[in-house]
Amino acid sequence: MANTEDTIAVRISKELADRIISGSIEPGSRLRQDHVAEEFGTSHVPVREAFRRLEAQGLAISEPRRGVRVAAFDLGEVREVAEMRAALEVLALRHAAPHLTPAILDEAEEATKAGDKSRDVRSWEEANRTFHRLILAPCNMPRLLSTIDDLHAASARFLFAAWRSEWETRTDQDHRAILSALRQGNTESAAATLGRHVQWIGQKPVKTASGKTRDAFAIVG
């Protein structure tokens, strides 16, 4: 999937983003340009450019002369991202609604079913993101959509951090309610449900390294 027409810097940033989101690189850990460069068999110049992209997406933070590290996050940031998504996805849906076709809504329903059948977080997340993208894309607002995309990446990171291995299949009633409202042309009701849906924050006890359990939080919509 990594398009060979992409520049090396883009390929590296995509790969690193994927690792950060999936949690295979720990929050707070340092990203060393020479190590990354060696791994990808390149010089460090494209690596530095990849770091700037990650920084812009909020996945890494860089301090001058002290390097780049994977962004840490806490409950506050989970909430912040949830609220931003609620505000922006509602906005996007209001503009997308007039352009939604039955075909798109059918596709979105397929995505919902795929999500309900998912037996692991990763495929659930993918189905969920597909659903949201399908119903929002027709708003035709590129800047808004790309901001929402970055927020989805952050959401996925929170989700994987909390539900890394265990995942319970669950059926998504919100998605169905949104689709049904959209089919009836009731945009406001769909938007209201979407806003609530995205702000719902799941909670789950998780074992820490020291053997204790603490609560982990994630956006589950």
Partner DNA sequence: AATGCAGAAATTATCTATAATTTCAACCAG
Partner DNA sequence: CTGGTTGAAATTATAGATAATTTCTGCATT
Question: Where does this chain bind DNA (CB under 7 A)?
Answer: 7-9, 30-35, 37, 41-46, 48-49, 62, 64-68
Which of positions 179-208 make contact with a copy of itself (CB under 8 A)?
none
* 137 in contact with a copy of itself (CB under 8 A): no
User: Does 83 help bind a copy of itself (rule: CB under 8 A)?
Assistant: yes
Dihedral-angle region of residue 65 (phi above 0 means left; psi in -120 to 50 means alpha; beta otherwise) = left
Q: How far is the CB of 157 from DNA (least distance, A)?
A: 21
Query: Minimum Å distance from CB 144 to a copy of itself?
Result: 6
Of the candidates 171, 182, 177, 169, the one whose C-alpha atom is nearest the C-alpha of residue 196 is: 177
The number of residues in the chain equals 221
- If contact means CB under 5 to 8 A according to the sort of partner, which of DNA, a copy of itself, none does residue 53 touch? a copy of itself
CB under 8 Å, gap of 24 or more: what pairs does 44-53 form?
A: 46/7, 46/8, 46/9, 46/12, 47/9, 47/12, 49/9, 49/13, 50/9, 50/10, 50/12, 50/13, 50/16, 51/13, 53/9, 53/10, 53/13, 53/17
Per-residue x/- marks for a copy of itself, 30-69, CB under 8 A?
Answer: ---------------x--xx--xx-xx-x-----xx----
For tokens 């890494």, name the residue.
60
**Alpha carbon distance, N-terminus to C-terminus of the chain:** 26
Instruction: Pick out residues in 87-106 that bind a copy of itself (CB under 8 A).
Output: 87-88, 90-91, 95
Scored b (16 or more CB within 10 A) or e, 3-16 reads eeeeebbbbbbbeb
- Shorter beta-carbon distance to DNA: residue 48 or 129: 48
Q: Which does 77 bind (CB under 5 to 8 A by kind): a copy of itself, DNA, none?
A: a copy of itself
Count interface residues toward a copy of itself (CB under 8 A). 30
Nearer to DNA, 66 or 143 (CB): 66
Given DNA, a copy of itself, none, residue 33, with its beta carbon under 5 to 8 Å by kind, binds DNA
Part in contact with a copy of itself (CB under 8 A); list of ranges 17-25, 74-82, 104-112, 157-165: 74-82
Name the E strands within the chain: 30-31, 60-63, 67-70, 201-207, 213-219
Residue 174 in tokens: 């919100």
Footprint on this chain of a copy of itself (rule: CB under 8 A): 5-7, 9-10, 45, 48-49, 52-53, 55-56, 58, 64-65, 77, 80-81, 83-84, 87-88, 90-91, 95, 141-144, 147
